[in-house]
Amino acid sequence: MPIPGPHTKLVCLIPDEVPLARPRIAAMVASKVNGNTSTLFSDFLWRPRRGAEPRTVTTNTQVAFYPHYNGTLVIYHDDGGTPEWHPLTNSPVINTSEWVRVTVEQNFIHSRWRLRLNGQEHISDPKGWTSAQGSTPDGPWFDMVSKGAAMSLVEFEAESYFDDMVVQSENPFTEALLLIVR
């Protein structure tokens, strides 16, 4: 479910061009988001280029993901003390030139994060946890690689378009209980 409204302006980030022998420099949007919140939601529209693993991810990265050539998401997370790129088992497919609404929830108390596309359920995986506290495996919560207490940078590699980015402490989706009486 995309963010409603007419979208007449957007940001296109194209990494700086450098000679072929050197890696491309990623385009960035930087602004430290810090406050008295333990949970942070980043919600935006994104039209990524499907492709290869990003080059600039380090152990200073908290959250990273990209769509593989086949359109499924690959995430960067801490797998028991070892940072790794992991293809999400239950990832939806992002079609070529498709706009998707991305919502990333970061829980800084437990250093975990989860992801949802287009307002659907959070993407679950056998390497994830069922809760931010990490009770049992096979869920949507993943360990952050960097355990910082704030988000300080959003970075896009390859050609990416994004629009309507909102970063806030409130959940942009109402987690309502549905009661059906017959």
Domain harbouring 78, CATH code: 2.60.120
Residue 54 resides in a domain:
yes
Residue 175 resides in a domain:
no
Residue 106 resides in a domain:
yes
* Percentage helix, strand, coil for the chain under 3-state DSSP, each rounded to 5: 0, 45, 55
Residue 78 pLDDT > 90, yes or no?
Answer: yes
Residue 65 resides in a domain:
yes
Residue 2 resides in a domain:
no
> Comparing C-alpha atoms, which of 77, 90, 85, 171 is closest to residue 123?
90
How many domains does the chain divide into? 1
> Comparing C-alpha atoms, which of 106, 96, 81, 92 is closest to residue 50?
96
Spatial distance between the Cα atoms of 56 and 23, rounded to a whole number of angstroms: 9
The per-type count for the chain, helices as H runs and strands as E runs, is: 0, 13
* Segment (H or E) for 82: strand 82-87
Residue 156 resides in a domain:
yes
Residues in the chain, overall count: 182
Looking at residues 133-157, what average pLDDT do you find? 86
Q: Is residue 154 within 8 Å of 28, Cβ to Cβ? A: yes
pLDDT category at 152 given cuts 50, 70, 90 is confident
Residue 65 pLDDT > 50, yes or no?
Answer: yes
What range does the domain containing 108 cover? 37-168
pLDDT value of residue 110: 94
Q: Is residue 43 within 8 Å of 102, Cβ to Cβ? A: yes
Looking at residues 34-41, what average pLDDT do you find? 74
pLDDT greater at residue 119 or residue 4 = 119
pLDDT greater at residue 5 or residue 81 = 81
Is 0.85 surpassed by the pTM of this model? Answer: no
Strands 73-79, 82-87: pairing is antiparallel
pLDDT greater at residue 118 or residue 26 = 118
Residue 81 resides in a domain:
yes
Residue 174 pLDDT > 60, yes or no?
Answer: yes
pLDDT tens sequence across 94-113: 998 889 999 999 999 999 99
Q: What are residue 154's phi and psi, to 5 degrees?
A: -120, 125
Residue 27 resides in a domain:
no
